[in-house]
């Protein structure tokens, strides 16, 4: 695949404070790459260095073959960005914001087309202060995508949104990727990373604790896989002999089988051999929350380690 971001041994210090400590990862073209971690883990500092907004102390960084520290102007013409604390003047109207930011792009921006593409036509004359949280995020995404950038950085995009607006924003992020852009998504929401990201770098204390697909990360940690189904008069105890099964419980006819590895497939095969095909057979895999807990020893909302 085509690598568009390379980070090798990145360090950033502020006096005696280490914000980023030997971070390395690569991002491939047209993927949604998540940087997941607690507040204060070094996520935002890392992406600000990638955008040329902050100098690095040491290490190698390339974005689209350019050094953000030396080629800031050239790079910014090829990327879009939504920062963690994005805001606009309260009285600036939606259409005015698109025209204003459009002037910063090398190629002419289709204002009407942008309004239509992001569902902003009915909001064109509405001032920024009168927009809801979800509408503001839609506008920020539209501004970040002006000029069809090759890479888009989104920092804590859905913080403060209700669950409905958050999921609507996820659909917009997928549209960004589907239009051909590479997305770097900074988040501390586990569900968001699992729903959106092709790969995730788990950052803790300024370091990358792990980097892989969400499924590979959950598999690698060796977390327990649980299978549930209704017994319907079937004796499930023989399933304890299935390779990988570690425990089996029955509560009011509801069977719960826990194990590791491809245990879900093996349990399903054993049931089928016994002529049992439960309608409510479900598999519950470990989550990124389990991965983070295994890697760091704490929950993500407990703050970054020093």
**pLDDT per residue as tens, the chain (306 positions):** 599 999 999 999 999 999 999 999 999 999 999 999 888 889 999 999 999 999 999 999 999 999 999 999 899 888 988 876 678 999 999 999 999 988 877 778 889 999 988 889 999 999 999 998 888 888 988 888 888 889 999 988 887 778 887 888 888 889 889 888 999 999 988 889 999 999 999 999 999 999 999 988 887 776 788 999 998 888 999 999 999 999 999 998 999 999 988 899 999 999 999 999 899 999 988 888 888 888 888 777 765 555
How many Cα atoms sit within 13 Å of 289 on the Cβ side? 9
User: If you compute the radius of gyration of the chain from its CA atoms, what whole number of angstroms results?
Assistant: 23
CATH of 3-218, one of 3.40.50.620, 3.40.50.300, 3.20.20.150, 3.30.1330.10: 3.40.50.300
Amino acid 173: pLDDT = 87
CA distance 177 to 29: 10
Evaluate whether the domain defined by 224-285 bears CATH number 3.30.70.980: yes
Q: Residue 171's closest CA among 141, 146, 130?
A: 141
What is the predicted pLDDT for the residue at 119?
86
CA–CA dist 166, 85 (Å, integer): 17
The distance from CA 77 to its chain's CA centroid, rounded to whole angstroms, is 24
Inter-CA distances, 148 with 7, 189, 257, Å: 24, 27, 49
pLDDT of residue 272: 93
Residues 6+ apart with CB under 8 A from 60: 6, 7, 8, 9, 10
What is the spatial distance between Cα 136 and Cα 144, in angstroms, rounded to a whole number? 12
Nearest-angstrom CA–CA distance, 5 and 1: 12
Instruction: Write out the H or E segment, with its range, that includes residue 1.
Output: none
Specify whether the CB–CB gap between 30 and 149 falls below 8 A. Answer: no
Check residue 303 and give its pLDDT.
59
CATH 3.40.50.300, the chain: domain bounds: 3-218
Specify the domain boundaries for CATH 3.30.70.980 within the chain: 224-285
């Amino acid at each position: 695949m085509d690598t568009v971001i390379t980070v090798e041994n990145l360090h950033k210090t502020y006096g005696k404070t280490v914000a980023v400590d030997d971070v390395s990862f690569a991002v491939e073209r047209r993927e949604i790459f998540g940087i997941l971690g607690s507040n204060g883990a070094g996520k935002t500092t890392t992406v600000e260095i990638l955008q040329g907004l902050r100098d690095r102390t040491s290490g190698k960084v390339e974005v689209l073959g350019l050094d953000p520290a030396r080629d800031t102007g050239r790079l910014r013409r090829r990327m879009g960005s939504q920062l963690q604390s994005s805001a606009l003047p309260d009285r600036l109207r939606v259409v005015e914001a698109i025209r204003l930011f459009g002037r910063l792009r090398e190629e002419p921006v289709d204002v009407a087309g942008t309004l239509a593409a992001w569902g902003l036509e009915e909001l064109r004359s509405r001032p920024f202060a009168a927009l809801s949280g979800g509408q503001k995020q839609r506008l920020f995404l539209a501004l970040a995508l002006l000029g069809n950038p090759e890479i888009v950085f989104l920092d804590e995009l859905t913080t403060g949104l209700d669950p409905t607006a958050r999921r609507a924003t996820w659909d917009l992020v997928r549209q960004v990727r589907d239009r051909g852009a590479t997305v770097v998504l900074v988040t501390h929401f586990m569900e968001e990373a699992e729903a959106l990201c092709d790969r995730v770098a788990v950052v803790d204390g300024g370091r990358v604790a792990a980097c892989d697909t969400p499924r590979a990360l959950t598999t690698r940690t060796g977390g327990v896989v649980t299978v549930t189904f209704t017994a319907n008069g079937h004796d499930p105890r023989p399933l304890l002999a299935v390779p990988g099964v570690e425990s089996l419980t029955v509560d009011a006819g509801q069977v719960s089988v826990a194990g590791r590895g491809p245990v879900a497939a093996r349990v399903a095969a054993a049931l089928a051999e016994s002529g049992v095909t439960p309608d409510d057979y479900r598999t519950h895999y470990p989550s990124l929350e389990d991965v983070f807990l295994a890697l760091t020893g704490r929950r993500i909302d407990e703050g970054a380690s020093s």
